[in-house]
Structure 1
Amino acid sequence: MEERLQKVMAHAGVDSRRACEEIIREGRVTVNGEVAHLGLKVNPQEDIILIDGKPLGGTEQKRYLILNKPFGFITTVNDQFGRKDVLDLVSDIPERIYPVGRLDFDSEGLVFLTNDGSLAHKVMHPSFEIPKTYSVVLEGKITMDSVYRLRTGIILEDGRTAPAKVKLLETSNSESRFHLTIHEGRNRQVRRMCSKIGHEVKRLIRVGIGPLELGNLPSGKYRNLTKEEIRLLKQAVDS
């Protein structure tokens, strides 16, 4: 799948998209031996992309991690407000890794980090439909009608959501707990879906991305993926 070069570079962790545009303008990027121009579309899986003569992503050892993001951290690599970001929690990793996708400032849980640009692109892009599972705690008691609406699609400002999987865990008059699985990646999607059914989210934790599970990983800690987890993740995006 082709995408604009600056977007591919940003996804690979080179820099922000705006900074990548400047790098392209400076003539420092070649694609298949030709100097690239702004707006060029590339396929990162097929095209040879060099920055200052070095392959995109470099020759670093490929690293694959999951992190349990605490509340109050952002997943944006460059933040104009100077807030704490998840890379602060993996600062001892020598390779230049980057978070794949977003997890809101006020949400917690599983973040996948890697320097494998091709795999990151597939995990993040909605066309590959990699499921993300969230543990949701809502204010108040959720009704079966609301569960049905989540399962069949909620109409948001940016269109109807794809059907979600809902697994109820516990309900009472004061709060409801359930697992919600979606494969889209819209901004604050889970919170907006819950708002549409009349409930405020008290706590939101991402517990799964495809075959990856948060498990009992402590908050603020990370671990390397096993070879089997890497194999299963690559299999999921290539199936």
Structure 2
Amino acid sequence: MSRDAERLQKYISRCGHCSRRRAELLIEKGLVRVNSAIVDQLGTRVIPGKDRVTINGVKIRLPKSLTVALHKPAGFITSTHDTHDRLTVMDLLPKRMIESGVLPAGRLDLQTEGLLVLTNDGELLHRVTHPRFECVKEYFAILNRPPSTRELEKLQSGVFLKEVGKVTAKAKLTHVRHRKDGTATLHVKIHEGMKRQVRRMFDVVGIKVTYLKRLAIGGLTLGDLEKGRWRQLASKEVQLLTGDGKGTTASGQGPRKTGEKRRVRPAGSMKRRKRRRSDGPSGQSRHR
């Protein structure tokens, strides 16, 4: 078998047809054909670009890989659509990008801001979101009061979230700062992605997160990418998403040198207005 061969379920996932687990079910049900022959064994391997794979008679193929970083503002749902007609992160992207099949790799809740990655690469989507790969996400949080040493230790070792019925994995809490107004700030690193996880973790110890912003995913950081703006990632940057080494910023800059200053233009206000997608070179979505 060629070195380029890969498991059939992985190939189906990378084509963006469905998740790897769903692909396994389709194979077991005999709904997948390889070179016109029905395949129902999970160990089957295929060579992308050479073998012809169909599902229910429809040929699937690898899409042109597209991965973008988006600075999600508060007030946008992390979803491809919303039944209540609320603004979604897809309203911040141009039509051509949506038609490429990009999906959010994980989610940020309605009021959380920061780095969100969208991709049409099914395998990348799986690696960024599945806890088994331990892709680290870093957040900046403002708390309504400073946490005690005991509370910090409890949060770092894992707390039980009754909403999901499980204990969180170990977290890393750093850069704890007490502020004069009685509030506090800190950085949180986790590799899970349960719904509203950071907020719920602090709820367990009686602390309210009043502001939350995702700063990094793997080795890719938000940098100076402005609210509501997106940027397509190069292949080397995509590789950083599943690593934890020295990375780059979503704004396209490398790590900032000591003492280096960078001018940042203030982001425009994100008001709820008539939706309009822009396909301009700047990647700036406009709402008028």
Q: In which range does the TM-score fall when normalised by the shorter chain? A: 0.7 to 0.9
Question: Which sits farther off after the overlay, 76-85 or 194-203?
Answer: 76-85
Tell me the percent identity.
33
Alpha-carbon separation, structure 2, partners of 1:45 and 1:147: 47
SS at match of 2:216: strand
Alpha-carbon separation, structure 2, partners of 1:230 and 1:45: 25
CA change 1:209–1:43 in 2 (3 A) is farther
1:169-184 superposed matches below 5 A: 169-172=176-179, 174-184=182-192
1:164-203 superposed matches below 5 A: 164-172=171-179, 174-203=182-211
Contact 2:218 2:243 in 1 (8 A): no
1:85 to 85, 88, 100: 88
Contact 1:133 1:208 in 2 (8 A): yes
Q: What TM-score do you get using the length of structure 1 for normalisation?
A: 0.77
Alpha-carbon separation, structure 1, partners of 2:82 and 2:41: 27
Aligned to 2:100: 95
1:30 to 29, 32, 35: 32
1:74 to 77, 80, 86: 77
Deviations 1:96-132 (A, max 9, x none): 2111111111211111111111111111111111111
2:167 to 150, 160, 169: 160
Alpha-carbon separation, structure 1, partners of 2:45 and 2:189: 28
Q: After TM superposition, what 4+ stretches of structure 1 lie above 6 angstroms from structure 2?
A: 40-48
SS at match of 1:78: coil
Aligned to 2:283: none
Matched residue type, 2:130: H
Aligned to 2:228: 220
Matched residue type, 2:207: H
Alpha-carbon separation, structure 2, partners of 1:135 and 1:167: 10
Count of aligned pairs: 219
Question: Which sits farther off after the overlay, 184-193 or 91-100?
Answer: 91-100
Q: Which has the larger radius of gyration?
A: 2
Shift of 1:169: 4.0
Contact 1:64 1:115 in 2 (8 A): yes
Contact 2:135 2:242 in 1 (8 A): no
CA change 1:200–1:80 in 2 (3 A) is same
Where structure 2 has 5 or more consecutive residues not aligned to the other structure, the ranges are 1-6, 245-288
Aligned to 1:105: 110
Shift of 1:77: 1.5
Shift of 1:174: 2.2
Aligned to 1:210: 218
CA change 1:14–1:201 in 2 (3 A) is same
Contact 2:15 2:63 in 1 (8 A): no
Matched residue type, 1:163: K
Alpha-carbon separation, structure 2, partners of 1:45 and 1:112: 29
Contact 2:80 2:88 in 1 (8 A): yes
Alpha-carbon separation, structure 2, partners of 1:139 and 1:50: 54
Alpha-carbon separation, structure 2, partners of 1:13 and 1:86: 19
CA change 1:41–1:125 in 2 (3 A) is farther
Alpha-carbon separation, structure 2, partners of 1:44 and 1:230: 28
Q: Which has the higher helix share?
A: 1
